Amino acid sequence: MTRRTLLDVNVVIALVEPGHAFFQKAQDWFKSSGKDNWGLCPLTEIGFIRITTNPSFYPGPRTHEEASSILTELANRPGYRYWPLTDSWATVTARFASRIAGHQQVTDAYLLGLAIKEDGVLVTFDRGLKYLAGPEFLRNLLVLE
């Protein structure tokens, strides 16, 4: 059975934006192996809405309704499984907390911790997460390169 994958916000945006620099990489991964058992959590949903409704978003900001509609369309695709948040930040990041270096890793750390807790895989374009995962949790991380 394919391990469950949790998509990072950067992957979600790349999947739905044909003009995105990583659109094709995201599409190729999703079509080949990602479509079978994947999902989003409240943090990735919120991040998608926050980024895509920002006035500086390229190719242009969406309304909250448009962004929410895209998330609904994604959730209706085959293979989608919602990842609920049930544990505290401290609980899910405890096993690698010593490698969290700053405020910009807070959300990334939670997403990685959630993937570890659920024995799933966080899919991202962010190479910096390899350090955060360390050798013991690299199996819970897929960096699309």
Q: How far is CA 27 from CA 31, 35, 113, in A?
A: 6, 10, 25
pLDDT for 117-126, tens place per residue?
999 999 999 9
Antiparallel, parallel or unpaired: β 121-124 and 38-39: unpaired
Report the share of the chain in percent with pLDDT over 70.
Answer: 99
pTM tops 0.85:
yes
Instruction: Tell whether the model's pLDDT for residue 92 goes beyond 90.
Output: yes
- Whether the per-residue pLDDT at 1 is higher than 70: the answer is no
| Domains located in the chain, CATH noted | 5-143 (3.40.50.1010)
Reported as a single tens digit per residue, the pLDDT across 28-75 is: 999 998 788 999 999 999 999 999 999 999 888 999 999 999 999 999
